[in-house]
Chains A and B, each alone.
Chain A
Amino acid sequence: MAQVTAAVRWGLELAVELQGITKRYPGVVANDEVDLAVVPGEVHAVVGENGAGKSTLMKILYGMVHADQGTIRVNGQPKRFRSSKDAIAAGIGMVHQHFKLADNLTVLENVVLGSEPTKGLQLDFAGGATRIRSLASTYGLAIDPDTTVEQLSVGERQRVEILKVLYRGARIIILDEPTAVLVPQEVDDLFASLEDLKGEGVTVIFISHKLDEVLKVADHITVMRGGRTVGTVTPAETDGRRLAEMMIGAELPSPQTAESTVTDVVVISVRDLNVISADERSVCTDVSFDIHKGEIVGVAGVEGNGQGPLVDALLGISPHRVDGRIELVGERIDHWPARRRREAGVGLIPEDRQRQGLLLPSPLWENAALGHQTSEPFVSGLWINVKGSKARTRHLISDFGVKTPGTDVPATALSGGNQQKLVVGREILADPKVLIAAQPTRGIDVGAQATVWEKLKEVRKAGMAILLISADLEELIGLSDTLYVIFRGRFVARLDPATVTPEILGSHMTGASLGEAV
């Protein structure tokens, strides 16, 4: 690669050099012969979609995961990391996407924990504070060591995480999706800090899927897709559209050209839905859409842009304040409790089946009743109808190809794919009026995926209204009749799956289309 030859010419060692990194998990190759070369003192971005392999690669670099094959060189020295401790000793620090900060402790306490400066028996608060302040000013990370983390904004907390690694002498910092949780102003502050870090010779590796930001701040951009590196470019050589193309692949799946089954009967209508958290942050803003009988409405978006809160609000289990209108077949249901909505015909395939969709220690037939435990055939009168439940479960198992020895097996014994087929099957067989399918084929094998898609198309034909929320573009393009894009809690685009191009879709999903003027 270009910068490698340049570095060698100048006699510089690469800060980080990964060669031929391969990591296999059962059923999937997370990293396939991945190469990465990072010049010292630069900001190097690694971009790709979810599942492209970037997180795994960084975990390997940070010693949290061991590669099956490949070599790691840090500052020219070959390294073997048995754990993160070795990586830290080599000067590598990682700032995780989900912060590990104790809210009730101060910044100082969080930063020095485990490496406390002491003066005799006591903790040397003054010394620690001085060191933190000097680090903060050197690297442009303004923070007061004596405030409790709880009082800090998300951007400031990130600064504390960065200080944590700098305090321990990191010269190579990995930032995992750092702007995922920041508002634009905080993003600018972060980028200013990155400049300061660069100025002091610190190398920054920046994992992201937000192409607009990456173009602004990175010196080099490595694109990954499907566990492989697609290429490394500089911002000068490229732009958002071409990057999106590299990320997603030049070809999008062609939508199935079957006859449209969309009627003009509106099953569910949502108007001006706003979800506002306790600290007055708007989690979902002005969401409006309709779903007709026989229609699949797809919602594309990178995970964490408000999909979860939207589903919670539609279902009636949101812990936040929800304003707006939701009408199901003409009736207003936005003030109904969750059970009533379920009984009225709102089905749910949750995005995290183990957390929201299954009772793992319970037998399959009880899991088949979950969500429908007040309706036929699962109940008769006040009692659970065991016979009816088991019969329905058998039907489910055979219809959806769930591989299991019987109906009494605990759900935990099923593989992920079969668990998902169980959940999908129970929701579809309950014949809801509208089915909310959130990431319905996440983490399951290709065969199970195909089954689910077939079933969804079948029930759509029979007149079910389906809300499909997904990060899988093949799925969205292949199934949706109408396609929205959600970004930061808003529906930012309404597209036609038949004519959308990867660049347009990608740029909406990553906010590039908005030009950061939110």
Chain B
Amino acid sequence: MTAVATRLLPSRRTSRSVLYALSAVLVLAIVVAYTGADELTSRGTASAALRLAIPILMAGLGGLFAERAGVVNIGLEGMMIAGTWFGAWGSWQFGPWWGVALGVAGGAVFGLIHAVATVTFAVDHIVSGVAINILAGGAMRFLSSITYTPETGGSVVQSPGVTKMDTFNTPFVAGGNLFGWKSPDLLGWLEDRDWFFVSDGAGVLRGVTGEVSWLTLLAVALVPLSVFVLWRTAWGLRLRSCGEHPWAAESLGVPVLRMKYYGVLISGGLAGLGGAFIVLVQQGLYREASTAGRGFIGLGALIFGNWMPAGVLNGALLFGFGDSLRFRGAVTVRALLLTIGVGLVALAVWRWRRKRPRAAGVQGALALMVLLGYALLTEVPDQLITATPYLITLLVLAIATQSLRMPAADGARYRKGETG
């Protein structure tokens, strides 16, 4: 009896995440009440945050598969660019889902090139990644000049408009259609009540359940799928062993080189999917430089997430949220600064109590800077907002390095038969 009951109760990890999420909403609710910046928890912001987070998530997951197999993939940006191009072309020629498929394939092709260079020829991983980025940019430009320039609305740097992905609203919760009948929009109704905390939470949830594209759903589903594949299957164990101790894996008969290929191919495919997403859900056309460094921010999310899929999701959401504020007003951004400042203070206090005075001091100083910024900046410069994801990445990396755990043999040059 008790065994069944304990299995029904949520695991410690899930209940802890729920607690974190609830406290985050609470903090935001307080900030909203204090500053009046209700945009912070509106459905618009949440929806934008989710949309902007997905490409970063895909890049991050891509990086995860590669690095878990022991290969550093700096070329994610290039693979994503390939994904944008092929995603647009596929949708333009055949339709959105074809765009997805071809975007994935495009990314995977560059993943293959990276794999050949690093796994077979043992080229330095970072050098290869940089070269891939250069090559992908050039190749996509070339393809654009051939295919898009002759078309109206097309040019070397841009494609004509393409069909985007369909969106849907979740039934009951967000007013979606259920076999033709428009269901009530519960969360929307709650959000409009303006009740402290409840409306804030409802706003956030409404944002992620309404006007959601199918591709978003697919992308998010890849997170639990990755967890399952990597931690619950034999194949996943072998892949991870290649990134942790390839020589041990080799001694036990694991085909290390082949597994690395798989990891990098998947990595390229995921990055390509992220690129396709940018075109098919956000932009509606291919545009050069629309990846804007997401491939690298994805790596930041990977590190922030400690090389775990759920962590990458958190990182991506965080960066997506920061990115989405670009479209909100100064009031909202200032409110965010306040939140961060308060958060850093809390972190500094926690570190102090954990007997780490130097770390506490550093974080305290950072907190002070942020709060000072909040107090002084009545007008947040645009450029600060565009720089947010990159600043956050550096900040997180600088604070958290001690407890971060990358795969032990990540980036190691592995040759068959060596003893390591």
Residues in A lying within 8 Å of B, measured CB to CB: 84-85, 100-105, 109-110, 112-116, 118, 121-123, 125, 164
Give complex CA distance A261, B7 in Å.
80
Q: Is A102's CB under 8 angstroms from B252's CB?
A: no
Q: Which of B403-420 contact A (CB under 8 A)?
A: 405, 407-408, 420
- For the complex, is B245 an interface residue (Cβ under 8 Å from A)? yes
B232 located at the interface, meaning its Cβ lies under 8 Å from any Cβ of chain A in the complex: yes
Q: Is the CB of B232 within 8 A of A114?
A: no
> Cβ of B10 < 8 Å from any Cβ of A?
no
Q: Quick check: B232 and A105 within 8 Å, CB to CB? A: no
A485 CB, nearest partner CB in chain B, Å: 30
Instruction: Give which listed residue, B232, B238, B240, B245, contacts A122 with CB less than 8 A.
Output: B232
CB within 8 Å for A101 and B245 given contacts A113-B238, A118-B234, A122-B232: yes
Question: A34 vs B240: C-alpha distance in the bound complex, in angstroms?
Answer: 41
Which residues does chain A contribute within 8 Å of B282, judged by CB atoms? none
User: Is the CB–CB distance between B233 and A114 below 8 Å?
Assistant: no
Give which listed residue, B236, B240, B253, contacts A114 with CB less than 8 A. B253
Expressed in whole angstroms, the Cα–Cα distance for A174 and B247 within the complex equals 19
**Known interface pairs A104-B405, A122-B233; 5 further A-B residue pairs with C-beta atoms within 8 A, sorted by A's residue number:** A101-B245, A102-B248, A114-B252, A116-B237, A123-B234
Q: How far is the CB of B120 from chain A (nearest CB, A)?
A: 22
B240 touches A105 (CB 8 A): yes
A-contact bits for B227-257, CB 8 A (1 contact / 0 none): 0000011101110110011011101111000
Bound: A105/B254 CA distance, A: 15
Closest CB-CB distance, A384 to chain B, in whole Å? 27
Report A-chain residues with C-beta under 8 Å of the C-beta of B241.
102, 105, 109, 113
> Inside 8 A of B254's CB, which chain A residues have their CB?
113-114
B245 to A123, Cβ gap below 8 A? no
Name B307's closest neighbour in chain A (CB-CB): A104
A164 cross-chain contacts in B, Cβ below 8 A: 252
Partner of B233, one of A84, A85, A112, A123: A123
Within the assembled complex, what's the spacing in Å between the Cα atoms of A85 and B241? Answer: 19
* Inter-chain contact B238/A114, CB cutoff 8 Å: yes
B236, B253, B407, B420: the one contacting A104 at CB < 8 Å is B407
* List of B residues within 8 angstroms of A112 by Cβ: 237
**A113-B232 in contact (CB<8A):** no
Q: Check if B232 sits within 8 Å of A123, measured CB to CB.
A: yes
Please list the 8 inter-chain residue pairs (A to B) with the smallest Cβ-Cβ separation, ordered nearest first. Answer: A114-B252, A102-B244, A100-B248, A116-B234, A102-B245, A114-B253, A113-B252, A123-B234
Chain A residues within 8 Å of B233, by CB: 121-123
Is A113 touching B248 in the complex (CB atoms < 8 A)?
A: yes
Q: Which of B247, B249, B251 is close to A84, meaning CB atoms less than 8 Å apart?
A: B251
In the assembly, what is the distance between CA of A57 and CA of B233, in Å? Answer: 38
Tell me the complex Cα distance, A122–B240, Å.
15
Minimum CB–CB distance from B405 to chain A (whole Å) comes to 6
- Distance of B149 from chain A, by nearest CB (Å): 47
**Considering residues A85, A104, A164, which has the most beta carbons from chain B within 10 angstroms of its beta carbon?**
A104
A84 to B419, CA, bound (A): 14
- B residues in contact with A101, CB < 8 Å: 245, 248
Chain B residue contacts of A104, Cβ below 8 A: 244, 405, 407-408
Inter-chain contact B407/A109, CB cutoff 8 Å: no
B247:A113 contact, CB within 8 angstroms: no
A173 to chain B, nearest CB (A): 15
Q: Bound state CA distance, A101 and B248, in angstroms?
A: 6
Q: Which residue of A lies closest to B231 (CB)?
A: A123
Closest-by-CB residue of A relative to B232 is A122
Most buried by A among B236, B237, B251: B237
Cα of A226 to Cα of B106 in the assembled complex, Å:
61
A123 to B240, CA, bound (A): 14
Q: Which residues of B contact A84 (CB under 8 A)?
A: 251
Residues of chain B within 8 A of A110, CB atoms compared: 248
**Docked complex Cα distance between A101 and B408 (Å):** 11
Q: How far is the CB of A88 from chain B (nearest CB, A)?
A: 9
Q: A123 and B237 in contact (CB under 8 A), knowing A102-B245, A102-B248?
A: yes
Residue of B nearest to A124 (CB): B234
Instruction: Give the distance in Å from the alpha carbon of A105 to the alpha carbon of B420 in the complex.
Output: 18
Closest residue of chain B to A164, judged by CB?
A: B252
Q: Which residue of A lies closest to B407 (CB)?
A: A104
| A103 cross-chain contacts in B, Cβ below 8 A | 244-245, 408
Q: Which of A100, A116, A121, A125 contacts B251 (CB 8 A)?
A: A100
B420: which A residues are within 8 A, CB to CB?
100
Q: Which residue of B lies closest to A84 (CB)?
A: B251
Do B408 and A102 touch across chains, with their CB atoms under 8 A apart?
yes
Cα distance, A361 to B245, chains bound together (Å): 28
List the A side residues contacting B247 at CB < 8 Å: 100
Q: Which of B178-198 contact A (CB under 8 A)?
A: none
For A113, what are the chain B residues with a Cβ–Cβ distance below 8 Å? 237-238, 241, 248-249, 252, 254
Complex CA–CA separation, A100 to B248 (angstroms): 5
Bound-complex Cα distance A164 to B252 (A): 10
Smallest Cβ-Cβ distance to A108: which chain B residue: B237
Residues of B within 8 A of A121 (CB): 233
Complex Cα spacing A114 to B259, Å: 12
Which single member of A115, A118, A122, A123 contacts B252 (CB below 8 Å)? A115
Please measure, in the bound complex, the distance between the C-alpha atom of A121 and the C-alpha atom of B231, giving whole angstroms.
Answer: 12
Give A365 to B236 CA distance when docked, in angstroms. 50
User: Can you list 21 residue pairs at the A/B interface with Cβ under 8 Å?
Assistant: A100-B248, A102-B240, A102-B248, A102-B408, A103-B244, A103-B408, A104-B244, A104-B408, A105-B240, A105-B241, A109-B237, A113-B241, A113-B248, A113-B249, A114-B238, A114-B254, A116-B237, A121-B233, A122-B232, A123-B233, A123-B234
Query: Shortest CB–CB separation between residue A263 and chain B, in angstroms?
Result: 46
Closest residue of chain B to A100 (Cβ to Cβ) is B248
Distance A85 CA – B250 CA, assembled complex (angstroms): 11
Within the assembled complex, what's the spacing in Å between the Cα atoms of A113 and B245? 11
Q: Which residues of the other chain, A, contact B252 by a CB distance below 8 angstroms?
A: 113-115, 164
Which B residues lie within 8 Å of A100 (CB)? 245, 247-248, 251, 420
- Bound complex: CA of A112 vs CA of B413, how far in Å? 25
Contacts of B253 in A (CB 8 A): 85, 114-115
Do residues B238 and A105 form an inter-chain contact, with CB atoms below 8 A? no
Residues of A contacting B237 with CB < 8 Å?
Answer: 105, 109, 112-113, 116, 123
Q: Which partner residue on chain B sits nearest A168 by CB separation?
A: B252
Interface residues of B in 133-170 (CB under 8 A from A): none
How far is the CB of A149 from the nearest CB of chain B, in Å? Answer: 9
